[in-house]
Amino acid sequence: MDYVSLNKTNRLFWLGRYSERVLSLTQYMMYWYDKMIDGSGIDYEDYCEKIGIPCKYESSEDFIRKYLFDKEDKYSLRNAAEEMLGNGMVLRETISSKTLAYLQMAVNALELASSDSAPGIELQWVIDDVMAFRGSCDDFIEEEYIRNIIKCGISIERMSLYLRLGYNLEQASKEIKKMMNRLYKSGLEAQAMSVGTIELYRMDKSEGVSEEELLQAVENLVVL
Amino acid sequence: MIKLKFSYETSIRFSDDVTNHAFLLRCFPMDIPGQKVESMTHTNYPIVTGGQYSKDGFGNVIYTGRIDRSHSSMEYKISGVIVRDDSEAEYEKAMPCYKYPSELTYGNGQMQVVLDSLRVHGSDIDKAHRIADYINKTMEYMPGSTNVATTAAEAFGEKKGVCQDFAHIMIAMCKMEGIYARYVSGITVGEGETHAWVEVWQDGYWYGIDPTRGCDTDETYIKLCVGRDYNDCPVERGIFNGNALQSQEVFMKVSYEKEEEPMPA
Amino acid sequence: MDRLLSHKDQINTQMARYGVKFGIYKNGEFLERLFPFDPIPRKISATDYEKLEKGLIQRVNALNVFLTDIYGAKKILGDGIIPEEFIYRSPGYLAALENYTPPKEIYSHISGIDLVLGKDDEWYILEDNLRIPSGASYPLIARSLCRKCSPDTFRNNGVVDNRNYGNLLSDTMNNVNTGGINVIFTPGRFNAAYFEHSFLAEQSGAVLAENSDIYVENNRVYYRSSNGPVRVGAIYRRISDEYLDPLTFRADSLIGIPGLIAAYRAGNVAIINAPGNGVADDKGIYYFVPKMIRYYLDEEPILSNAPTYLPYYEEDLKYTLERFDDLVIKDVAEAGGYGVVFGKDLSGTEREEFIARIIAQPRRFISQEIIDFQDLPILDGEGVIDRKADLRAFVLSGSTTKVWPSGLTRFSRNPDSFVVNSSQGGGFKDTWIMSH
């Protein structure tokens, strides 16, 4: 029996969110690394606006490297990975040292990738490690509601990225269903307004609820 | 033997709302031989969660509790009846720490020079009287000239202070002479603020000496708590969430309890 | 064995994987460092260990009786074995803990006793750490990684398993638990030993908590769980006394638990280790530990102190000044390898000033003969170099006093340094207690 304080709940939730941010964005950037082979660069100004971060990059290449690897850039993926690890470190006895090791390995892989001109292989390791982390969580954590706090964070982050970047929207209904299911199992407190908006969207997604409103609802769904 | 009626009231105001306020009070008359608490009431505002009485390392009664929800003031009031009788005092051992300097009661060279010139001699009580007399005559009583963190040496250098500083200096100088001495925080017959004085231990008994007023304590003095110095005896300590400044008003009143008229049969 | 040594890099990679780190503050900035591991173990034979174990148990038992006495009857002072000054002028003495005895009269539940092995093959006690001795997690995790990298080594050498530390720790907590869960109380992620706090919580099954997770109500301690309050019966706190309770100690402590000391004095929670232990692991008190063993246990000390002099005594002051160049002088108030001066390293005005300080405040210093202790081999590239090393033995006082059959062997980074301390560089080794 593990005891979870409000602080810990908060960390579990953000551990989920950051792990998804690292996973999704690594995949997203790998997609653009591949595109760049054929000469098309990412529209980084548009990306920054959608994600809601300041755009201070000089070129596509400059953006990809700094956004992925720059420790000094507080919006970078590298920093998201550090946050993920940081939240994991304060949850060691809940998620186990074995599970935590995968987060450490993901950060180590990202560090290795930063010094490689072709970081594709190392980025794949990052993805592998995050996936292994999730498997290990599932395997180790006894209480279902604790697992679902992490998963709820994962779903919310994933929906948030889909909506912000406008991709995989065809998956939205499926993800929302998963998200709500996890939310109820986690025992986290839900904001009634957000739940209302999301249910409305699920019932009739073409009308009534804009993507912007849905994003707001997703972001505000959990009361911590 | 005399009977004293006392009341002690403090109100603390915060410049802004505070939450999760945990506090400790140390302002209850000691219930000891020579000073019997006949009755006492204690009230707090706002309502306190989980309040408990217990004793600290010096044997003082403390009350700890919390006020979690938002509030901008806190009040507590203690009142009751005390029976004072110095002839009831009992033999007790002194904690050895009362012989050694504490944070606020370190002596210095300046004090040593004075001690040498005073040529204190005789019993510990005689020596302590000589020291108290010197402090009473040479120190100027000046409210606002020092604060709760002022050390004995600092106040001694300035030649001014309040009762707390007078007591600290006396304790420091007694300790330099190898005398057991302790700080007493208390209230005395009259109205207004709390007071502080010194007790000196000799042959199993504590004797009260008031260097501020230049006299021995008598049965009009009520002890709230004792310790090595002020740091051991603050009447209140608290910690809270919120960025607020704290101001405090204290009012105490001690009077002789009049013998009640016998009820007509 | 060679196989183990050839796996040095692999083992250190594994350490990185498990985030085996300790933090240091440098120029006000928090940095996390890996704690370098050297794969050549320190081996202690079964016969040597037997003596060591007995001696350590004896010492820690005496220290616990001493603490009970100091905060209680004070017989050792009354009988003139220890001058009062060494207690009441020590910053580790806490008057707030007077007139109270903790559960089962145990003050030092987890003791870290630092020793060195002299060239004469004798163990000497360097210092006792009875407040928050850290470091057990490092050899603990190193052992499990080494076993993974080089199973043959452990199959072929009779090494006593040390992986029971978590159980020893939970037994120690359970023994004094007043009813409720066990908690490891950490100041947070940016503490030098955070890795250890979280690792020990995992190993012992205790709940890791920070101050906002804990509160006191009705002189009882509770953990703020999301399913409601849970009573806490034992707190293994990893913050120092002065920060523990802002209502009793430092009023500006934002990492403490307000009201904890009142709850503790009411007998409603155990604090591990007890507050106030600093009075017994002071460098000045160190001198008196052999006397304590004789006084309280009526036994001869099994383990020796390094030959130590107290300038407080006229004779010892004279000796210290005469043999200044041959001695190491320690400031009683400083810890962590700071305030340690080798007489021969001082010259000119520095030397004169230091000597003047000793004469002015003799009670503040001890002087010791420099023990010629054995070097240990360290793997350096392809070769092996020698470095000074000490051993921190962990002694756990539960229903009985037990020595953890392992320990933290730390070595110095510089060849000429006698100071082995994790906050001053250097690394660590596993310590093997041999089963034969």
Query: Which chain C residues are closer than 8 Å to A141 by Cβ?
Result: none
Which residue among A3, A86, A93 places its CB closest to the CB of C202?
A93
Please provide residue C87's backbone torsions phi and psi, each rounded to the nearest 5 degrees.
-95, -55
Q: How far is A3 from chain C (nearest CA, A)?
A: 6
Give the model confidence (pLDDT) of B117-168 as tens digits. Answer: 998 889 999 999 999 999 999 999 999 999 999 999 999 999 999 999 999 9
- What string of DSSP letters covers C89-143? T-TT--GGGTT---GGG-S-SEEEEEEEEBTTS-EEEEEEE-S----THHHHHHH
Average pLDDT, stretch C118-136?
93
Domains of chain B: which residue ranges?
2-86+234-256, 89-232
Q: Give the whole-angstrom CA distance, residue B159 versus residue B162.
A: 10
What is chain A's pLDDT, residue by residue, as a tens digit (224 residues)? 678 888 899 999 999 999 999 999 999 999 888 888 887 888 899 999 999 899 999 988 899 889 999 988 999 999 999 999 999 988 999 999 999 999 999 998 999 999 888 888 999 999 999 999 999 999 999 899 999 999 999 999 999 999 999 888 888 889 999 999 999 999 999 999 999 999 888 887 556 788 889 999 999 999 98
Query: Residue B124: what pLDDT?
Result: 96
Report CB contact under 8 Å: B52, C95: no
pLDDT of residue C338: 64
Q: Does C359 touch chain A (CB under 8 A)?
A: no
Q: Which of C226, C230, C236, C238 best probes binding to A when mutated, by most A CB atoms within 10 angstroms?
A: C226
- What the block records as the tokens of C43 is 């081996």
**What is the model's pLDDT at position A206?**
58
Q: Which of the four pLDDT bands, split at 50, 70 and 90, describes residue C194?
A: confident
Residue C332 binned pLDDT confidence (cut-offs 50, 70, 90):
confident
Tens digits of residue pLDDT in C258-285: 999 999 999 999 999 999 999 999 889 9
Measured between alpha carbons, how far is A21 from C203 in angstroms, rounded to an integer? 30
Can you spell out the DSSP letters for B203-231? TTEEEEEETTTTEE--TTEEEEEEESSGG
How far apart are alpha carbons B245 and B249 in whole angstroms?
A: 14
Q: What is the mean pLDDT of residues C96-125?
A: 95
Could you tell me the pLDDT band of residue B241, with boundaries at 50, 70 and 90?
A: very high
Confirm or reject contact between C163 and chain A (CB < 8 A). no
CB A122 within 8 A of CB A113: yes
Most B-contacting residue of C79, C82, C211, C217 (CB-CB within 10 A), to test interface = C217
Which structural domains are found in chain C, ordered by start? 2-285+373-433 (no CATH), 307-369 (3.30.1490.270)
How far is residue A104's CA from residue A129's CA, in Å, rounded to a whole number? Answer: 9
What is the phi/psi pair of residue A22, to 5°?
A: -65, -45
- The pLDDT score that the predictor gives to residue C334 is 64
pLDDT at B258: 74
Report the DSSP beta bridge partners of residue C249: none
For chain C, say whether B237 makes contact (Cβ under 8 Å). yes
Distance CA A102, CA C67 (A): 45
Q: How far is C242 from chain A (nearest CA, A)?
A: 24
Residues from chain B contacting residue C94 (CB–CB below 8 Å): 57
ipTM of the complex: 0.92
What residues of B are in contact with residue C85 (Cβ under 8 Å)? 100
Distance, CA of B202 to CA of C338 (rounded, Å) = 42
Higher pLDDT, residue C351 or C148: C351
Q: For residues B133 and B138, give the distance between their C-alpha atoms in angstroms, rounded to a whole number.
A: 9
CB–CB of A55/A49 below 8 Å? yes
Which runs of E-coded beta strand occur in chain B?
A: 2-25, 35-45, 49-55, 61-67, 71-84, 140-141, 160-161, 181-188, 190-192, 195-202, 205-210, 215-216, 221-227, 236-241, 246-256
- How confident is the model over C288-298, as pLDDT tens digits? 999 999 999 99
For B2-86+234-256, the fitting CATH number among 1.20.1440.230, 2.30.29.30, 3.90.950.20, 2.60.40.2250 is 2.60.40.2250
Residue C360 has pLDDT above 80, yes or no: yes
A6 closest CB neighbour out of C17, C188, C224: C224
Domains of chain A are: 7-141 (no CATH), 143-224 (1.20.120)
CA distances to A148, C36, C191, C213, C270 from A3, in Å: 15, 34, 22, 11, 19
**Percent of chain B scoring above 70 in pLDDT:** 97
DSSP state of B260: P
Q: Maximum Cα–Cα distance for chain B, whole Å?
A: 69
Q: What is the pLDDT of residue C32?
A: 65
Amino acid at C365: F
Of C17, C194, C198, the CB nearest to A105: C17
- Total count of residues recorded for chain B: 265
Multiple choice CATH, B89-232, 3.10.620.30, 1.20.810.10, 3.40.50.720, 1.10.3720.10 = 3.10.620.30
Share of chain C above pLDDT 70, in %: 92
Residues of C within 8 A of A2 (CB-CB) are 207
Summarize pLDDT for C15-43 with one digit per residue, the tens: 777 767 665 555 556 566 677 888 899 99
B chain contacts of residue C219, beta-carbon cutoff 8 Å:
50, 52, 54, 64
Show Cβ contacts of residue A18 under 8 Å, excluding neighbours closer than 6 positions: A80, A81, A83, A84, A87, A153, A157
Model pLDDT for residues B27-72, shown as the tens digit of each residue: 999 999 999 999 999 999 999 999 999 999 999 999 999 999 999 9
